[in-house]
Structures are given as C-alpha cells and as structure tokens.
Structure 1
Amino acid sequence: MSKISHLLEMIITLQYKGLTTASELAETLDVDKKTIYRYISSLNKASIPVHTKKGRYGGFYIDEEFYMKPSKLSEDEIQSLLMATQILTEENGFIHQKHLESAVSKIKSFSVNDNMELKSLNDNGDFKINEIGSLQNLEDKISKINYSMNRGRALSLNYFSINKNSLTIRKVDPYNLIFKSGAWYIIGYCHMKEKVETFKVSRIKSLKVTDEIYMRPHNFQLKDYLENCWGLFTGEKTKVIIKFDKDIQSFIKDTKWHVNQEIKSLEDGSVLFSVYVDETDGVKNWVMSFGKNAEVIEPSELRDEIKQEVQEMYKKY
C-alpha cells in the first residue's frame, strides 16, 4: 500500500475512532511505530490537525472541527464506476486494474446516499444489494463499538450474512476496530462460532452494548491475525467449484467466464471449474442453465440451494 493510502486510512481512523495509539495504528497499517510518527509529522505539515496526548492513556487524536466529508455519488454514477471495473481489465490492456478496483472499493464504501443501499455487480453484470445501512448511522455504530471496547462490554449484533441471505444475532467480544480497503471491520470473539471472527460494520443492521464483561486475551495479536486471515479483507470471496460433463467440456474450456477462473481436466473427460466470487446467486442461475451437465461441488450451501430448487421443480412437473 502506498504512503498516500496509509495517510488517508490514518485520517479516517482518527476521525471516527478518536484517541488511537501508535501501536494500534501500526498494527492496522502493518508498519512499525517509527513510520507512524513520520506519518503524523507529514499530516501536520499538510495542516491536518492531528494532536498528541501524552501519558499512560495517551495517543493521537484529530481536531473535532476537522471533518473529511465523503462525496455522495448518485446511483447511476456508482453503477458506472462498477461497470468500469468489469471493462477496464489487464486482459483488455489496462495495466492499472488492481488500483482501479481498490479505488472503486473505497468509493463504494463512502458514497452511499441516505436513502439508498450500496449495490454491486454480480458475475452476470446485474446489480444487487449486498450491504445494509448507510453513512447516516455509521458514526453511531462506531461510537458504540469504541465504547464497548473501552468498557470491556460484549456486543449484540443483528448481522447480515450474504451467503445465507439472512440476519443472525451474534454476541461478540470486540478486540479491534479497523479500517481496511475502504471498509470498517470488527475483529472479535464470536460466541456462536466459538472463535475469533471478522464482522463488516456495513453489514450490521443494529447493535447494542450489553452488560456482559469480557477480557481481551493477552496473547491475541492483531498483526498475526491479519496475516493468517488476509483473505477476509479482499472482498470476502467465496470459492465455487463446478464439475462439467465431457459433453460440454470444450465449450467451458474455450470460453473466458471470469478473470480468476481455473479449469482442470479430469480422466473421465469432464472438467472442474473453480472461481472466487463475491456472491453465489448469479453463479446459481448460470449453473442451472447447463441442466444435468453441471454439478456444484463447493460450497455445500450453494449445492443445497440448487438441490432444493430442483426438488421444487420436480414437484411441479
């Protein structure tokens, strides 16, 4: 990540989180503390009012009067940007594809009008809702999350799961609140899964601070967690594996269906098609269009969805 990207993430983190230590910023940006102090100096030279509070409970904070207001793009403008990422690819000679995708990801997270929900392109080029809430309640969410971490109180989240397409109630002990790739995430212990999980703040419909006290484990290191779970911050992709029969294998192999597809030939003449996607709804419709010649191997949730739909179709016929 470039220095400019680091500086922007620092400004946004300080703006929403308030008092933040050099250690927390260093862990979030994956740099050393000396670099953080140099960044702070650069921001001050640019007349951005970042101040230092000394002492045991000190850290950095930004002047309350300073506010980096996000621009509000129209729905058509957001859709145009999303379509551009589908057209401007390395395959088409655009060498800055990754930079464009990163920039659009950040714009999406901050360019949501109060009366609309964020939309994204699925693999068929259609738009669908994949986020809940807006900037209107973002500050309230972050305020409650910071309060719960400072007081050591567990959170109760009404959380939206994209794969299950439903809301679930989660009790979470929040360890960290970080800003990565244009979005806010809570990293904490999920009592339902009984392990440390990552929760995207934009998918939280509502949350409340409970009276239950928790202690952050002394051996938990954010840097180690991010290194082991970095895939969580690259779009939360789902791996899909589909087996196509030999009757259509040449058609599958001769067509470019997705930029990150992988195709493996099997001994019986069939092929395994693998791809990472943000959503599986578009894949479901695509797979079913091949009828008996296609079989979903992974994920099991998508396989079950198709099985249920086929059973319902069978009843009708």
Structure 2
Amino acid sequence: MSKVSMMFNIVSLLQTNYIISAREMAEILETSPRNIKAYIESLRMAGVPIEGLSGRNGGYFLNKLYYFSPPRLNEIEYSALLLAEEFLTKANGFIYEHEIKTAFSKIKAAQGEIMGSSALIDKDNIADSRGKADISPKTKKFLYEIQQAIFYRKQIRIVYNNPIKKQKTIRKLDPYNLIFRESSWYIIGHCHLSEFHILQASE
C-alpha cells in the first residue's frame, strides 16, 4: 500500500472512531505501530489536526472541527459486500479467508455510519447462496428484482405452478429469502393465500 493510501486510511479510521490506538490501526492496516506513528506525524505536518491521549485507554483522535469525507457505499453496495463476506468466510476451505476478513474490516472501518447501522441491512433477508456461475442475463435480472423486493420489503406478484394440481394461479407474496439448492432457486416468503411457502423460482 502506498504512503498516500495509508494516510488516507488512517484519516478514515480516525473519523470513524472516537479514539483509536496506533496498535489497533496497525492491526487493521497490516503495518507496524511505528509506521502508523510516522504517518500520523506526516499528516500533522500537512495540517490534519490529529491529537493524542496518553494512558491505558489512550490513542489518537481527530479534532471535532475537522471533517474529511471518504467515498461512501450506498445500501445496495453494502448489502452486496455483506453477502460476499458471508459466503467467503464460511467454513468452505477458502484459502484467503484471513485476508478477506481483514479486507472487510478495513472497508467497514472506512465506511463508518452505514457500516455501524445494523437497522439498514439485514443479512438474513438477502440471498444466502452463491447460485450458478453460468446464470443467464434474464435469470440474473429476475433474481435481482426478487432480491430488491426482499431488501426493500416490497410485495410481489407471482405465477404459482401447483405441481400436484397441475394448475397455475397468480399470487401475492412477501418474499423473505432467496436460496439456491440442487440446481434450482427457491423463494421463501409469506403467500397471502396460505401461511408459509417455499416456492421454486423460475422465469
């Protein structure tokens, strides 16, 4: 990581934490506390008002009057990152699990308000499967629209094909989740004609 990128990340960390030690920043940014202190001195010389507090719970913090706006993620971008983190950090043998965890820690630290508000995003309401790598554009659009309905808690209308009665009906559905199992997508949600349904999704 370049010196400029490192200093940018330090400022982001200072903005999203009331007080943070050099050791904590070093762990997040994968460098040494000594380097962090050197970067902080460079930032101070550049006019960034970084202050320090000594003692057991001491660390560095920014003057409240200083504001530096880092690039922000919107809610959809954040939900996509949460989903990726969920997939890649499960016990699935992913060889870069440690690296992906530290990468997400850096992103979360830099994003601040969105990352710190669990009310905006509910991971349990977002699809929890990788799905198929060779998904068609039409299916991708179809699944994206369902995920949007889940995310924004919107009701959808579907054509339900009853496998027993061999008949189709139009139903209103409150989708809760979208999963991929054994070559098929399934919608979990509340059907307004019944209490609970797991419906196989098709275009």
Q: TM-score range by the shorter chain?
A: 0.3 to 0.5
TM-score, structure 1 normalization: 0.32
TM-score, structure 2 normalization: 0.48
Instruction: Report 1 or 2 for greater relative contact order, CA contacts < 8 Å, sequence distance ≥ 6.
Output: 2
Higher strand share: 1
